[in-house]
Structure 1
Amino acid sequence: MTEGKGTRRKYHHGNLREALVEATLGLIEEKGPLGFTLAEAARVAGVSAAAPYRHFRGRDELIEEVALRGFTMFADRLEAVFNDGKPSTLSAFMATGRAYLAFARENPGYYIAMFESGVSIAGNSELARATERAMGVLRKAAEQLADALPPEKRPPPGMVANHIWALSHGVVELFSRGAPGARAPYSADEMLESGAAIYLRGLGLIR
């Protein structure tokens, strides 16, 4: 089997689960999360069509595994960036936004599985926990930014976290995979940072 797009690692005894995840990442990047079958993932991994059923009940469960790994990596990255000794909460907050965009650029297969495959986060407790870890970084940043305001003027940190998450996701969609934003005279990072600054200033969280 020739190595190429959609073919990352041949199956070796005892490593079936990993081989299927690697094959699925390539297929997601090439065909989208709904553009391939479990049998095709097995073929790319170099195993029989029946082999994946040792670990997964179907393609959707395999994609859930990819999404779980992606959210875990994503949460690890956001936590590391936010806790990396930045001189202020604002700089740490902006660094998490840049990390969000970098993750999407560097890991398109994971990102698509996480956000574009239709996996049910609410229906998978591990996925829900990993997502909450990532959201928790943004919520913590929002809480710290609001500390200087009187309690009655502090916006709900969960709302702020969700708005910044939505803004980040929108920038990814606008600038990724040949989308119109790729032709803009400014970068995705600049778009996110300027949008976040306008939003936070409007809430009185920064001056």
Structure 2
Amino acid sequence: MMQKRRYHHGNLRQALVDAALVLIETKGPTGFTLSEAAKNAGVTPAAVYRHFEGREDLIAEVALQGFGIFAERMETAYNDGQPNALRAFEAAGRAYLDFARAYRGHYVAMFESGLPLQRSPELNQAAMEAQKVLQAAAVELSKNIPAEKRPPPQMFAAHIWALSHGVVELFARGAPGGRSPFPPEQLLESGMGIYLRGLGLIAPD
């Protein structure tokens, strides 16, 4: 009982998020119940409903926190002393890989739970903040492309986002590189190189 009261008067909401993260990683976003999350957090099932209406609300909170971490890591990678926008762009792509490995539960809640980003204004805004880093990089890099060959920055950013996400999903989740003879980092770097070279941003080999 003392443990339950400590959570009730402390940060029960975060305790439930932390419990959900473990369950998401081990059972997937639909493989657990709120009662299991409550048990792992050391509280009664009834206590959960003071903070979340259902499992999807709990997963949405995990995703919301994940997008906040994700945006911060992407922004740090982009601004962390890179010599030019191109290198910063590549660093942001690598940060995507790093995030998926370091925050598996958050990543699943964000991208594999099936929750619509429009579920709440807060979740939608958090997702947009994460995308702004790549869009800002795309705007800066687009200045080096002749106007007649220049894709819209939003499309530019979406291409790199899709490339990064594809490498993560196919080769960096589970056993990294298990389906490819090449490390995920190398796949991402070479894929970006081919794409950016096609836009004239990288000199031919």
2:70 equivalent to 1:83? no
Return the offset for 1:12. 6.1
Q: 1:66-89: CA deviations, max 9, x gaps?
A: 000000100011111111120011
Match of 1:178 in 2: 175
Alignment-mate amino acid for residue 61 of structure 1: D
Q: Which runs of 5+ in 1 are unaligned?
A: 1-9
CA contact (8 A) 2:90 2:189 kept: yes
**How far, CA to CA, are the matches of 1:12 and 1:187 in structure 2?**
45
Q: Distance in 1 between matches of 2:144 and 2:39?
A: 57
Residue 130 of structure 1 corresponds to 126
Over the matched positions of the two proteins, sequence identity in percent amounts to 60
Task: Give the aligned partner of residue 5 of structure 1.
Answer: none
Q: Does 1:64 align with 2:60?
A: yes
Partner of 2:10: 14
The two structures have a TM-score, normalised by structure 2, of 0.91
Superposition pairs for residues 78-117 of structure 1, below 5 Å?
A: 78-117=74-113
| CA distance in structure 2 between the partners assigned to 1:183 and 1:165 by the alignment | 21
Q: CA deviation at 1:59?
A: 0.4
The residue correspondences of 1:160-179 to structure 2 (distance < 5 A) are 160-175=156-171, 176-178=173-175
Q: What is the CA RMSD across the aligned residues, in angstroms?
A: 1.5
Partner of 2:3: none
- In 2, the alpha carbon distance for the partners of 1:135 and 1:67 equals 15
Aligned-pair CA distance for 1:95: 0.4
- 1:127-165 CA distances to partner (integer Å, 9 max, x unpaired)? 111111111111111111111223232111111111111
CA distance in 1 between counterparts of 2:45 and 2:195 reads: 50
Q: Partner of 1:54: helix, strand, or coil? A: coil
Q: Which residue of 2 aligns with 1:25?
A: 21
8 A Cα contact 1:146 1:154, kept in partner:
yes
Query: Normalising by the residue count of structure 1, what TM-score does the alignment of the two structures yield?
Result: 0.90
Deviations 1:163-206 (A, max 9, x none): 11111111111121137x42532211110111111112122233
